[in-house]
Structure 1
């Protein structure tokens, strides 16, 4: 099996509607990867103290976030495909963790904030410059992704709004300058009852953030405790918070599928090259037909995931991506990435069990990526609803 069988996303042709090739952006991206290779490969990405602020500042200074940001509706397709190029490139460096931080920064917190009419433009500009970052604080310890059962509450505290509760498994929370907090508003403090989306300064009194010692993407996620924390802005009033997030999740889930497809591709490339070099019983692993067929099947499934994700990007660019399709992309990508990483670890033998091995890291990270943007079960529920 040839290790170039797997398509390189940087040279792969794009079909109709995917936007024109963008060599200038790719050249800037290549230059960034070369210049900041030491930062991307920094061992802190694996030891629980990832240099997220340094990476975001460098990417912002290089203009990568602004390049992947739509200035208006007409610019949306080009910006989306630049984001795809960015996520594809970062999936292949630093064990994938730098890409997780960038996707959360650009395609979760910043893109959600920028889509809201009442958002502070200075916050968006700061995020695009890499000077500040935010975190979407939605899930909670008690109910996880069941956001219809929020225990975090917004309430009146004298002449101001405050929010009290706890959030759990929040990406980029340990590094956030501001939090986008989903909270219930039972007393219509924001204007009407129901879930509201609030802007809370991460350094304000009453806000405590603790990194989670997770299995993968160590140090990138955290838990947040809010104790009458001040609300600096009501981004979405009560009753509309979940509706806004449901629209946002279309984008997030497709981009997560893009990222998982590229991670699977990168792990497969490494597995094929390693299987060519590793010998068992006097012959290369690739001399075994079962090994070749396993890698061939996984290659086909990975290409399926990557193609489906890119179709999702085309639909996002057209403004016509169904919720069920976005969920299907993410669900399938998560399953394929887990299987690819597991098989790659098996092929590596004892070396694959070693911390730092690409398959080891990918398997741990794949479990977390299956949770991000909604669990597998939530994806199936969305697919079932259509």
Structure 2
């Protein structure tokens, strides 16, 4: 089915992304993992290679290509190579944050912000989660009070991906007391007085991807940085969630494919009792099950991708894809690690990184429990 979804232009682009990952990421990933953050130059390299800002119009420096298949290929190839902590920075920029600017920004705002996102000079982040607020957007407490041509912002955000590198942070703030009709989106920029970044949080996985706490103390943000209409932020956030969840599903499935491929190589080379461990019936059956589950999931995710290209992907279908692909990702990584035995627990083997990196996939973008709630409501329950 993949051949029916991707054409020759996408195949060439995929080859280019694979070369980029092999040359610019794989040799550096362990250094970045140890440092707890990716080199800033990575974004510039990605921009120079044309991996950022596909939908940005030519007048703002982009290619002006509205084709999510290019986004998907970037997510797939980084995840399949088991370097998700590097790929997340790009998928966050392309799939999750940039759509807010493309869909809501004025021409003046686009001229200010988009050229830097395409070349990699400007790193984007979105700040929704707060210390006491996870999946419940209506409970956001960070407040912005209008003061003439400014908003005065006070509050805090946590678990913000790209929080250390981010130059522009699209921030959900409360501008009225109504739970849903009282949220707005403000673009907070690096260097604004009152905007502070906390520590780079230590995680069990995705070590090279910077995740931070952010705080705002009497931060004055110009009204010119309001994204979209005041008090309409909740609906903007919800509208972009299906694409975000599809992006997570795409990368999750590719990670499962990547760890399975590496495990097949391992079980053919590793011997026990005088024969490759992959030839034992139990191990053979485990791998047969995983290969089948991955193939079935691939068909469904590609079907969702086609729906999204046609503007037909529903919130429930996106939730199904996100839930199923990430559960499968974690299951495949766990069972493949088991096939590696003690070596699978060693950091020098990529399967160990795949195991810990994948766990967050069932949490962000809305927990899988929230996905089931969305699916259940779609069933009329």
Structure 2 SS opposite 1:181: strand
Q: CA deviation at 1:120?
A: 2.8
Pair 76,326 (structure 1): closer, same or farther in 2 beyond 3 Å: farther
Equivalent residue number for residue 62 of structure 1: 49
Work out whether 1:312 is the aligned partner of 2:304: yes
One of 99, 114, 120 as aligned partner of 2:87: 99
Instruction: Judge conservation of contact 1:200–1:229 (CA < 8 Å) in 2.
Output: no
Q: 1:48: Cα distance to partner?
A: 4.2
Contact 1:261 1:306 in 2 (8 A): yes
Q: Which residue of 1 aligns with 2:273?
A: 281
Moved more, 298-307 or 53-62: 298-307
- 3-state DSSP of counterpart to 2:83: helix
Aligned-residue offset at 1:31: 4.6
- Equivalent residue, structure 1, for 2:72: 84
- Select 2:326's aligned residue among 309, 324, 334: 334
Corresponding residue of 1:4 = none
In the TM superposition, what are the counterparts of 1:218-367 in structure 2 within 5 Å?
A: 218=207, 219-232=209-222, 233-367=225-359
Cα distance in 2 for residues equivalent to 1:59 and 1:312: 27
28-37 vs 148-157, which moves further: 28-37
**Taking structure 1 as reference, are residues 34 and 266 closer, same or farther at Cα in structure 2, changes over 3 Å only?**
closer
1:25 maps to 2:13: yes
CA separation of 1:254 and 1:105: change in aligned 2, threshold 3 A? same
- The answer as to 2:365 corresponding to 1:377 is no
What is the CA deviation profile of residues 109-168 of structure 1, one whole-angstrom value per residue up to 9, with x for unaligned ones?
Answer: 222222214243331221011110110000111121211111111113565212111111
Unaligned runs of 5+ in 2: none
Q: Which whole-Å deviations, capped at 9, do the CAs of 1:1-41 have from their partners, x for residues lacking one? A: xxxxxxxxxxx7422xx353214434543453454256x63
**CA–CA distance in structure 2, aligned partners of residues 93 and 347 of structure 1:** 19
| Aligned residue runs from structure 1 range 133-212, under 5 A | 133-157=123-147, 160-186=150-176, 194-210=182-198, 211-212=200-201
Larger mean CA deviation between 124-133 and 114-123 belongs to: 114-123
Give the Å deviation of 1:201. Answer: 0.9
- Compute the RMSD of aligned alpha carbons: 2.4
187 and 13 in structure 1: CA distance in 2 versus 1, 3 angstrom threshold: closer
Pairwise CA distance, 1:42: 3.2
What is the Cα deviation at residue 331 of structure 1?
0.5
The 1:341/1:33 distance shift into structure 2, 3 A limit, reads closer
Structure 1, unaligned runs of 5 or more: 1-11
Residue aligned with 1:84, SS: helix
Aligned residues: 366
Contact 2:38 2:210 in 1 (8 A): no
Aligned residues of 1:76 and 1:317 also touching (Cα < 8 A): no
TM normalised by structure 1 equals 0.88
